[in-house]
């Protein structure tokens, strides 16, 4: 693949019929809930389609939705799996092991092509096998102070995660193994310490852990190079997790349209 060829993208639109989906009769899951007249998944696909750095778009969604007009902007539709990891595996099938693939959540109501372009550039520049979008709190709150997040305090600043990841398919198996260990240990502090190491946990708990140290630790734990992409477009971190987020997303989408 040419160095600057457009990246393929996988949009994860699977998952159960949850409380968000219950707000929209007929929605298979929250990806198919309309925001200002356009479903969440259609919004995500449209933003990717408008980004010059993105090429082929694969959407992973329940088979019953494959004929839905919300997925018309995708190049290919694939069945989802019982877990997000299964859906990710299905989405990555057929891509070269070392090919960088953009993976996006389907619940990003105001994701902009500019945010996608920035993240792709950062992911490429990192050279890592797994790249995770994140956003510094001051940047986020300057644009969207009303949007709640879970924050991680590091020595470099305080961050939340974004809705995009870039990874090479060869990284999926070791990433799955790590996530399995993490899931098994998440409710046991001693098990977490065995996964991350007491030093890393202590530095994180006291706000002394740096992004660079976190990247090194994650790379060692997963077994492939892992990097954080610190983004400057706050819309990459605005998603819809709860029913209360829908009304907020409607307002933000309306404001974005009026600015455009």
Domain residue ranges of the chain, discontinuous segments joined by +: 7-259
Contact 126, 229 (CB under 8 A): yes
Question: What sign for the dihedral angle of Cα 109, 114, 117, 120?
Answer: negative
Q: Identify the pLDDT of residue 2.
A: 55
pLDDT digits (tens, 9 = 90+) for 166-205: 999 999 999 999 888 877 776 676 776 777 888 888 898 8
Q: How far apart are CA 237 and CA 231, in angstroms?
A: 9
Q: How far apart are CA 196 and CA 179, in angstroms?
A: 12
Instruction: Give the mean pLDDT of 64-81.
Output: 97
pTM of the predicted model as reported, rounded to 2 decimal places: 0.93
Q: Which residue has the higher pLDDT, 255 or 102?
A: 102
Q: How far apart are CA 201 and CA 189, in angstroms?
A: 10
Judged against a pLDDT cut of 50, whether residue 259 lies above it is answered with no
Q: How far apart are CA 243 and CA 211, in angstroms?
A: 32
Average pLDDT taken over every residue of the chain: 93
From the candidate CATH numbers 3.90.550.10, 3.40.190.80, 3.30.499.10, 3.40.50.450, the one assigned to the domain spanning 7-259: 3.90.550.10
Contact 52, 4 (CB under 8 A): no
Judged against a pLDDT cut of 60, whether residue 88 lies above it is answered with yes
pLDDT digits (tens, 9 = 90+) for 3-25: 678 999 999 999 999 999 999 99
Contact 168, 124 (CB under 8 A): no
């Amino acid at each position: 693949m040419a160095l600057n060829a457009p990246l393929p993208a996988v949009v994860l639109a699977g998952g159960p019929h949850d409380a968000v989906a219950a707000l929209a009769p007929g929605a298979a899951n929250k990806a198919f809930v309309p925001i200002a007249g356009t479903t969440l998944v259609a919004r995500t696909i449209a933003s990717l389609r408008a980004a010059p750095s993105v090429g082929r778009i694969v959407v992973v969604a329940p088979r019953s939705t494959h004929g839905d007009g919300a997925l018309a902007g995708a190049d290919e539709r694939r069945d989802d799996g019982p877990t997000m990891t299964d859906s990710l595996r299905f989405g990555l099938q057929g891509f070269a092991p070392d090919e960088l693939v953009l993976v996006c959540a389907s619940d990003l109501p105001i994701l902009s092509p500019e945010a996608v372009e920035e993240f792709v550039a950062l992911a490429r520049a990192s050279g890592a096998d797994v790249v995770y979008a994140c956003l510094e709190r001051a940047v986020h709150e300057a644009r969207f102070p009303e949007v709640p997040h879970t924050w991680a305090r590091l020595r470099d600043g305080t961050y939340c995660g974004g809705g995009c990841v870039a990874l090479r398919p060869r990284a999926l198996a070791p990433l799955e193994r790590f996530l399995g260990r993490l899931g098994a240990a998440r409710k046991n502090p001693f098990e977490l310490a065995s996964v991350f190491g007491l030093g890393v946990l202590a530095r994180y708990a006291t706000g002394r852990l740096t992004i660079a140290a976190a990247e090194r630790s994650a790379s060692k734990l997963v077994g492939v190079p892992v990097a954080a992409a610190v983004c400057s477009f706050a819309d990459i971190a605005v998603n819809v997790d709860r029913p209360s987020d829908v009304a907020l997303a409607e307002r933000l989408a309306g404001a974005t349209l009026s600015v455009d």
